Structure 1
Amino acid sequence: MYFVEWLMRRTLTASKKDITGFEGDMKQFEKATEKYGKQYRGMQERQVSDAPSDARSIYKMNDTYMDVRTFFDEWRGGVLLGLFPLIFGVIFFPVFILSEVTGIFFSGMVSQAGRVADTGDYLGAIILWVVWLALLLVFFYLFWIFRMECLVQRHIVVRFNRKTRKIYINRPNFAGGNQVYDWDDVVASVDPDDQVVTKKRKREILMLFFFKQRTGAEHHDVVFLGAPLRSDHELYALWEYIRRYMEEGPESIPKPKCIPSFPWPWRSLLAPWSFLENKWAAAPWSPRMIALVLIASPVMLLHAVAHWCSLLLCWPVYWPRQLRRESTASEPV
C-alpha cells in the first residue's frame, strides 16, 4: 500500500549521485515547482466548486480539526498474496515438519515408522532444515517489501487543524514520516482559474504539494488525498470541502458521513470493487459488465480477503505525544 509513497519519497530526496542522467529532468521539475509555487499562492481563499463534498474521505471532523484518508488504501493485499507461499513455508516447516524430524537427532528413531533412523533419514532432516533456513533468509531479505502493507500503521492520516492553521501528516518513516506544514503553503492539484469540470467517470487523485521554496524544508513533499475520486468534479468538490472547513469552519459545509477506521470485513469487499466502479457506472447491468464482474469475482474475493488480512496485520494509527497535543490544539501553538 505504501509503495507509491515510498517511491515518491525516494525520488524527492534523491541525491545528485542518484539522479545521474536525469539532471535535465530535475531542473525542469524545479522550474515547475517555482512556477506553481508562485502562481497558486493564495489559492486557499479562492472558491473552486459550488458543491463541496466529503467524497467518502473523512475519518473524523470536529470544530478544531478534520482527519482525511489517503488515496492508496485500496491498493493493498498484493504483497501479502505474492509472499504468501514464502510466509506459509516459513511458518509451516518449523510447526509441522521440523518439529517431527528434529527428534531423529536426539532419539535416533523415526517415530512415524517406529524404526531406527538410517543415513537417508539424517540427510533428509538436514535438507529440510537447510530449506527452511533458506526460506527464512529470503523472507528477511524481502521484509522491507512485506512492511509496505503489513506490520505497519494501518492508514496514513492527514489532519487539518483550522485553529492552528496547520496540516499534520501521520505516516511511516519510510513513506515520508510525520510532517507539519502551514496551511497557507499548500498547493493542491486544482486550478482556481479553471472551474470547468465534468462528472465524466474516471479515477482522479487530489494531490497536495508542499514545495520547499514555500515550506523552507530541505525537500519537496506530496500527499495523495481522498478516496478513489470518480471525476474531476468530485476532486474539486473535495478540495473545496477542505478549503471551506479551514477558511470558514464546519458550519459552512455539509456534515460528513465519516468512514470507520476499524477494519470491518465488508469495507475490504469494497476495495476490489473500486477498480470496476467507474466501468460499471458507465454501463450498469449490461451483459458485458455482468460477465466481467462474474469472471473477475474470484480474483476480487481473493483481493478482498488479502486486503482484510493486511489490515489485521497492522496496528491503528498512533500519533506521537507531541504531535497529538499540537494537532488537536484549539488555539495556535
Structure 2
Amino acid sequence: MYLFERLIWMHRTQDQADRNKWDETERKEFGPSQVRIDPDAKEWGVEDCLQIEPTDAGSIYAINDRFLDVRASFQEEKRGLITLLFFAFVYVLGYMGLYRLSLEPLFWMISANTTPWDRPVEAGDWVGVVLGFILLAAAALVVLRYGWRWLRVEIFTQRHLVARFNRVTRQVYLNRPPYAGGVVVLPWEAAVAAIDPSEPDHHGMSGFVAVVFSKERSGSDYGDTVFLGRPMRGSREIEGLWEYIRRYMEDGPNSVPKPGRLLPLSPWPLEPVRATFRFMSPMWRSSSRPVALLTGLLLVPLLALHALSHWISLLLCWAPQWPEIIRDAGLPGKAVPKVTTLSDFGPELAERIFYNDKRDEAKARPPRRKKKVGSRESA
C-alpha cells in the first residue's frame, strides 16, 4: 500500500490557494505547529560511522558490486486492505446489484417472458429493471471515477517501491509510481539518517529508517525523503540497517554481512503470510507465550483473509521497472544519470513543490527568541 507516499506527494504538489487554506484551518483547529527542528542537533550523514553491527533487517531485494536495492515503502505490509474493500465493492455493486437485480431479470424477461420470481412479466418490471441498471451503473462509474486513484495505491500499480544505492555513481535512485513522485535521482552525499544513537532502544514493530536528502548538502534545488526497510524491532535495528547501507556505499559489499534472505520481486505467496503475522512478534517477545498463542489463534481467520488479499494485490501489480540509463548506471562506458532538479517536473509542479517545501521549512524552524531589554544601571 502506497497511501502514505501518495499523500506526501499530494501535499508537496498542492497549489498555493489550497495550501494557504489548509494552513489556516490547521492553525485555527490545532494552533501553531509543534514540529520543530533543532538546529543544534547532530546530523548523521554518510561520513558518520556508527559503532553498531550492521544488519540487513530482512529488507534487501538485491546486492552486488554495483548496487544495493532496499525496500522503500512505508506501509507495504498493510497492503490487502484496499484490495479487500475493492472486491467487496465488486461483489455488492457488481454481482448483487448489476447482475442479480438487473441483468439476470432482464435475461429471463427477454428469453422466457417471465421473471426469476416465477410470475408473468408486467410493464413495471421493464421500468424497474432498466432504471435499476442505469442507477447502479451510474453509481459504479461515480465510485470508480473518484476512487480509482486511491485504488491504485495498492493494485494495478508497481508491485514494490525500491531504493537503489549505486556505489559506482555515488547516487541513490528512488523508484515510485508517478502519483508518488516517480523515479528520481539523488546524490548519496546528501543523505542524512533520522537517527539518534544516544537515545535508549525503543522496542516495537513500527520503525523505519527515515533518510532525508538535504538540499543544503547537495546544492540542488530538490530534496526528498524516503522510508527504508521492513517494520523493525527497535532503534538499534533501525541504526543497524542504516549502517549496513552506509558501509556498503563507502566500503563495498565485502564490508557487510551477506543478507540472510533476499526479498522477492515476484508475487511469492509466502511473503504475504510473513508480513501479516509479523505484527505478532512484539506480543510474542513481551507477553506470555500462551496469551500470544491464544490471541494468534483467535485472529487466524482475519489474518488469513488479510494474507490472501495481500497476495491478490501482488498478483494484480507488476514488477518495478527502471529506466535504461539507471539500469546501466555504473557499467563501463555508460552515462551517469542526471541528478533530479525541480525543472524536471515542469514549471507548474516545480513552482508548487518549491512553495510547499518553503512553507514546511518555515513551520519547522524554531521561533526566534526575543531579546530581553534590561534596565541600565546608574553609575
Matches within 5 A, 1:1-333: 1-20=1-20, 22=23, 32=37, 35=39, 39-40=42-43, 43-70=45-72, 71-92=74-95, 98-103=102-107, 109-110=113-114, 117-129=121-133, 130-191=135-196, 194-195=197-198, 197-198=200-201, 200-215=203-218, 218=221, 220-256=223-259, 257-283=261-287, 285=289, 287-326=290-329, 329=331, 333=336
Change (3 A) 1:176 1:44: same
3-state SS of 1:32 partner:
coil
The 10-residue stretch of structure 1 (160-169 or 86-95) with the greater mean CA deviation from structure 2: 86-95
| Inter-partner Cα distance in structure 2 for 1:17 and 1:216 | 29
When normalised by structure 1's length, the TM-score is: 0.85
Q: Is the 8 A contact 2:158 2:317 kept in 1?
A: yes
3-state SS of 1:276 partner:
helix
| Inter-partner Cα distance in structure 1 for 2:66 and 2:101 | 56
Change (3 A) 1:288 1:250: same
| Inter-partner Cα distance in structure 1 for 2:128 and 2:107 | 13
Q: Is the 8 A contact 2:280 2:292 kept in 1?
A: no
Q: Is the 8 A contact 1:154 1:311 kept in 2?
A: yes
- Identity of paired residues, percent? 35
The alignment covers a number of residue pairs equal to: 325
Query: Which blocks of at least 5 consecutive residues in structure 2 are unaligned?
Result: 337-379
| Inter-partner Cα distance in structure 2 for 1:107 and 1:294 | 51
| Inter-partner Cα distance in structure 1 for 2:32 and 2:170 | 31
Higher Rg of the two aligned structures: 2
Compute the displacement of 1:116 (Å). Answer: 6.1
The 10-residue stretch of structure 1 (294-303 or 237-246) with the greater mean CA deviation from structure 2: 294-303
RMSD over aligned CA atoms reads 3.0
Change (3 A) 1:196 1:332: farther
| Inter-partner Cα distance in structure 2 for 1:18 and 1:28 | 21
Q: Is the 8 A contact 2:210 2:226 kept in 1?
A: yes
Q: Is the 8 A contact 1:201 1:278 kept in 2?
A: yes
When normalised by structure 2's length, the TM-score is: 0.76
Compute the displacement of 1:182 (Å). Answer: 0.2
Q: Is the 8 A contact 1:53 1:254 kept in 2?
A: yes
3-state SS of 2:18 partner:
coil
Change (3 A) 1:294 1:106: closer
Q: Is the 8 A contact 1:12 1:219 kept in 2?
A: no
Query: Which blocks of at least 5 consecutive residues in structure 1 are unaligned?
Result: none
3-state SS of 2:279 partner:
coil
| Inter-partner Cα distance in structure 2 for 1:263 and 1:67 | 17
The 10-residue stretch of structure 1 (311-320 or 180-189) with the greater mean CA deviation from structure 2: 311-320
